[in-house]
């Protein structure tokens, strides 16, 4: 019986306990899967200082570990793993069949795979040759729904992200609508796979042959938006991208990035602005100007508010310095 070859790539930074649970869930999912997967797990540790690499080496001897001496970011870490698999760089094989894995799953270390999510995702790509990628239905730790697939962003999404209309009647409905890039609830509730623009990189399965066709992640995105841009290239090459509502994965969300909240916020908007300019054909100059202006306005407002809190002794000096540096940098973009 043929066993589909799946590589699970986990890029980790200072989340040792979450990483341990993630790797345990992957191992358990591989064993209980009804789809007879052959699973290789690769961990790229981004110079963690919490003993993550030592833990992986000691507790998970079957995991292929690369302990980086520097923080490569989400994109650089995943591309390193893709190179190890022969799916990026000059060592690319002529055919994906010759690679170590037919399918590659980008998986955050703050996730836990439930039931047969891995098997379901691989089985979907096996039975849908037109599909390049698919994502899982993410859940918060309490089991509640978490958006994991979106439309490509526009001006309204930027406005809602920076200045959410919390005080408006029906604000929740608005924020969960197509205007904010969300797919409607009925798409998720009927439990059938459906096509999407892009899937979050927290749990994104990609066909190796598609990676060879469009290339690896764009390292111009150190963190954030890299999966959105990747899915855009896949769709431009006439591949499909889908979400599987029945393949469920717990996502504790932003456990690495919240360690440096304001630096992460700066990186998020650097990446988003880069994306908007990279695909400027979809965003006319007035729209790009408005997007940049909204980012500048938000950054200046936050600088004023946080500066007053610091002056009143309500904000730690270290946090103020980090916030001021990050927000000031955004005003200059």
Look at residue 33 in the predicted model and tell me its pLDDT. 80
Look at residue 88 in the predicted model and tell me its pLDDT. 86
pLDDT band at 67; cut points 50, 70, 90? very high
pLDDT at 96 > cutoff 50:
no
Q: Based on the number of CB atoms within 10 Å of its own CB, is 56 exposed (0-12), middle (13-18) or buried (19 or more)?
A: buried
Q: Based on the number of CB atoms within 10 Å of its own CB, is 33 exposed (0-12), middle (13-18) or buried (19 or more)?
A: buried
pLDDT at 325 > cutoff 50:
yes
Helix, strand, coil percentages (3-state) for the chain, rounded to 5, are 45, 20, 35
Q: Which fold has domain 5-147+183-252?
A: Spore Coat Polysaccharide Biosynthesis Protein SpsA; Chain A (3.90.550)
Strands (E), 13-144: 38-46, 64-68, 103-107, 111-113, 131-139
User: With pLDDT > 90 as the criterion, what percentage of the chain qualifies?
Assistant: 84
Residue with tokens 């793993």, as numbered in its chain:
81
Q: What is the mean pLDDT of residues 41-67?
A: 97
* Torsion angle defined by CA atoms of residues 86, 11, 238 and 127, in that order, rounded to the nearest 10 degrees: 80
Look at residue 167 in the predicted model and tell me its pLDDT. 63
pTM of the entire structure? 0.93
> Where do the domains of the chain lie?
5-147+183-252, 258-331
Provide DSSP, 224-289. Answer: SSHHHHHHHHHHHTT-EEEEEEEEEEEE--STTGGGGHHHHHHHHHHHHHHHHHHTGGGS-HHHHH
């Amino acid at each position: 019986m043929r066993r589909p070859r799946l590589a699970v790539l986990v890029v980790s930074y200072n989340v040792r306990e979450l990483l341990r649970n993630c790797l345990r869930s992957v191992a358990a999912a591989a064993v209980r899967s009804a789809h007879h997967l052959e699973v290789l797990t690769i961990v790229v540790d981004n110079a963690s200082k919490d003993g993550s690499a030592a833990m992986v080496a000691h507790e998970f001897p079957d995991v292929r570990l690369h302990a980086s001496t520097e923080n490569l970011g989400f994109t650089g870490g995943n591309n390193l793993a893709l190179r190890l698999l022969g799916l990026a760089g000059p060592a690319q094989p002529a055919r994906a069949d010759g690679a170590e894995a037919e399918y590659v799953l980008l998986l955050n270390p703050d996730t836990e795979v439930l039931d047969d999510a891995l098997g379901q995702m691989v089985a979907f790509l096996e039975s849908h040759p037109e599909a390049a990628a698919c994502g899982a239905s993410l859940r918060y730790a309490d089991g509640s729904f978490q958006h994991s697939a979106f439309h490509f962003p526009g001006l309204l999404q930027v406005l809602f992200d920076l200045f959410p209309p919390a005080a408006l009647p029906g604000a929740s409905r608005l924020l969960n609508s197509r205007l904010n890039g969300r797919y409607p609830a009925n798409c998720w509730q009927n439990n059938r796979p459906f096509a999407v623009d892009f899937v979050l990189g927290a749990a994104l399965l990609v066909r190796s042959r598609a990676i060879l066709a469009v290339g690896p992640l764009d390292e111009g995105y150190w963190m954030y938006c890299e999966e959105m841009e990747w899915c855009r290239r896949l769709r431009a090459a006439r591949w499909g991208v889908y979400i599987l509502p029945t393949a469920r994965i717990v996502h504790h969300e932003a456990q690495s990035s919240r360690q440096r909240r304001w630096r992460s916020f700066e990186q998020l908007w650097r990446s988003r602005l880069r994306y908007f300019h990279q695909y400027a054909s979809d965003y006319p100059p007035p729209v790009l100007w408005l997007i940049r202006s909204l980012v500048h306005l938000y950054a200046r407002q936050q600088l004023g508010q946080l500066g007053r809190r610091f002056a009143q002794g309500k904000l730690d000096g270290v946090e103020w310095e980090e916030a001021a540096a990050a927000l000031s940098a955004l005003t200059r973009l």
